[in-house]
Amino acid sequence: DFSKVKLKKVTINEGKTEQHSSGGGGGGGEIPITLCHDSDEYNKMMMETFLEQYFKQIEQFTFKSVFVPLSVDAARALVKYHKIMDKGGNRKDINNGHDGNGDGDSVAHHPSSALLWEEDDSLVTLMRDIDDAKGKLGIENIFVRLSSRSPKDAALSSPSFTTLAKKKRQQLQHEQVSARNTPVNMALHCLYYASTAALAAEEAREAINLLVHSDRIQGDLEKYIQDNSNTAAGDKGLSSSSSSSSSSSSPSSASMPSTSPSSTEFNVVVREFKQFDVMLEFRGFVYNKRLTAITQYNEYVYFPLLEAHKETVAHVITRFV
């Protein structure tokens, strides 16, 4: 029932414009301000996109999920170890000396090796909570994201990325080359597949490593930390993970995973990972509760099979919505 989903109506004040200059000596023009006027408005709009805001409306249609509250301490630790990686450490520092650039040294190939971030109590607690959530879902592979967005850019840091791309290339080797389905297009198809499949995590350690390696989520983490900078550890809704390592291995009641998220929480969302043909990933646009357009999620790859069956695909999606 999408009638309960609220859409934001944006009104542009008449006459409120900003200068826009075009290149090539063509002169400038005026365009209306259609985006946010300040950071507060942007942050408010961003919070409206958090998965918690609409999960109940789509729960029966989407992947199984468990919401794990993210403590401020764990958020700080994710930012901290991302910065260690960003200063030239890359996987070598994050993986405590194991250089993951080769085929043999990586988290996946060294499941018993201690990761640098595993010295942090808050991330160890988060790892346990994610493992508990995975057990609650009863699935083999998980996909993790924050309330705000996913660490999908971290797929490139996965030790499985190259292997997955090569595997897809083998599958496409007999596909006919054409004016549009060029070798470059096929390579992009392989990279698209690998960037999706590499986000599957068999265990929580891999999931946290994706969060550590993601540039994409850093701004969200820093905003969450800033908003809670004056909040005492242990406040309701937050799990303080800064206690000594002698604390109980069981997560506190404040950080227990939940399938009924609160709209005020900032969570790590542990989701069921399901592999599907990337050709069948789309965006739908809705206006006045009516589906107005459908596009490929990735506009850079041409799929011959999709073009041949686009009417059928459009019919199936339209009928579902």
Residue 270 tokens, joined: 């542990």
Judging by beta carbons within 10 Å of its beta carbon (0-12, 13-18, 19+), is residue 238 exposed, middle or buried?
A: buried
Give the pLDDT confidence of 263-288 residue by residue, as tens digits: 457 999 999 999 889 999 999 999 99
The mean pLDDT of the chain is: 78
Closest of 116, 106, 113, 129 to residue 81, by C-alpha: 116
Phi, psi (rounded to 5 degrees) for 17 = -130, 170
Q: Above 90 in pLDDT, residue 192?
A: yes
Closest of 251, 296, 255 to residue 277, by C-alpha: 296
List, in sequence order, every residue forming a beta bridge with 21; answer none if it has no partner. Answer: 28
Give the pLDDT confidence of 86-143 residue by residue, as tens digits: 654 444 344 443 444 444 333 333 333 457 888 899 999 999 999 999 999 999 999 9
Give the pLDDT confidence of 52-93 residue by residue, as tens digits: 999 999 999 999 999 999 999 999 999 999 998 765 444 434
DSSP state of 201: B
Q: Above 90 in pLDDT, residue 242?
A: no
How high is the pLDDT of residue 232? 43
DSSP result, 76-104: HHHHHHHHHIIIIIHHHHHTTT--TTSSS
Mean pLDDT to the nearest integer, 200-226: 94
Closest of 165, 147, 133 to residue 75, by C-alpha: 147
Q: Is 133 helix (H, G, I), strand (E, B) or coil?
A: helix
- Distance between CA atoms of residues 189 and 172, nearest Å: 9
Pairing of strands 65-69, 28-32: unpaired
DSSP state of 49: T
Q: Are 20 and 31 in contact (CB under 8 A)?
A: yes
